[in-house]
């Protein structure tokens, strides 16, 4: 990668996780040094949504947040939890409802609880006129059915960490949803469907994310790998994801960086 990318936004970082406890400040510095200027911290339950906003207070203008309950935690959804997420989502740094959606791969919460929790958060997003940061794994049919019913009421939505097929991508694009692309794209074993899909998805519908500390790209150059702690993914890897996406889109790294960043700024209402 010869081009220097100086204005990227990582739209999905699990920065409240314990794996970042010891070096969050250094992580943010490393990201900034390679051009990842701003990051959106993912809220996965009430506690982590609160923590995400606390981090935003420490790094204003650099960190923003989502507020929501991941489908793994759907069984914990209550009216009280909903009221708390509603309150958190009204804070200045909160820019989307989520991470919410459906995950039938592990079913840590029952599908019934997941659907109820998902729709409850879509209702909050509609009421607050906020976009939705969504998760879908092995649940496309139910996910599509729900979001299709709600789409006209929603400001906007992104299917974060998309790993699906061209057909699934087309279905989401038909609903004018945006697509989040991670280092899954760099996986020669499991990423083939995504590699096919990104060639179809218009660049102006794609945003970049690491989903750190998860989904470390398998094809990282040795120079980057040496800087990482214990094979942990982090936002400084985003320029590599950008370069791989550029290769599949047959575009320059700079063009992909500018397009994905412009969309992220618009979607999350992030100032330069």
Instruction: Describe the chain by its helix, strand, coil percentages, rounded to 5.
Output: 50, 15, 35
All structural domains of the chain, each given as residue ranges with its CATH number in brackets, are 8-268 (3.20.20.140)
Residues 27-77 have pLDDT tens digits of 999 999 999 999 999 999 999 999 999 999 999 999 999 999 999 999 999
Q: Compute CA distances 106 → 47, 82, 136, 225, whole Å.
A: 22, 23, 12, 30
The C-alpha atoms of residue 272 and residue 269 are separated, in whole angstroms, by 10
Residues 217-263 have pLDDT tens digits of 998 988 888 888 778 999 999 999 999 999 999 999 999 999 999 99
Biggest CA–CA distance in the chain, Å, is: 51
Instruction: Write out the two tokens for 236.
Output: 């400084």
SS3 state of residue 227: coil
pLDDT band of residue 2 (cuts 50, 70, 90) is very low
- Half-sphere exposure of residue 12: CA atoms within 13 angstroms, side-chain side: 28
């Amino acid at each position: 990668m010869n081009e220097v990318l100086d204005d990227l936004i990582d739209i999905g970082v699990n920065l409240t996780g314990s794996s970042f406890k010891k070096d969050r400040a250094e992580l943010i510095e490393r990201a900034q040094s390679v051009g990842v200027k701003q990051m959106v911290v993912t809220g996965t339950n009430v506690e982590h949504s609160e923590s995400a906003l606390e981090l935003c207070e420490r790094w204003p203008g650099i960190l923003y947040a989502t507020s929501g309950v991941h489908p793994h935690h759907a069984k914990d959804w209550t009216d009280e939890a909903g009221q708390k997420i509603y309150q958190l989502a009204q804070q200045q740094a909160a820019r989307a409802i989520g991470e919410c959606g459906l995950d039938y791969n592990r079913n840590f919460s029952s599908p019934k609880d997941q659907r109820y929790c998902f729709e409850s958060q879509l209702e909050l997003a509609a009421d607050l006129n906020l976009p939705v940061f969504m998760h879908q794994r092995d649940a496309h049919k139910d996910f599509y059915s729900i979001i299709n019913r709600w789409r006209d009421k929603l400001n906007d939505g992104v299917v974060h960490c998309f790993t699906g097929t061209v057909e699934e991508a087309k279905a989401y694009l038909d609903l004018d949803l945006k697509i989040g692309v991670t280092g899954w794209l760099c996986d020669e074993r499991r990423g083939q469907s995504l590699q096919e899909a990104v060639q179809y998805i218009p660049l102006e519908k794609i945003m970049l994310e690491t989903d750190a500390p998860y989904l470390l790209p398998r094809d990282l150059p040795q120079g980057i790998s040496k800087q990482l702690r214990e094979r942990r993914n982090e936002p400084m890897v985003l320029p590599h994801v950008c370069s791989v996406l550029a290769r599949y889109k047959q575009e320059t790294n700079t063009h992909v960086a500018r397009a994905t960043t412009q969309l992220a700024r618009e979607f999350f209402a992030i100032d330069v």
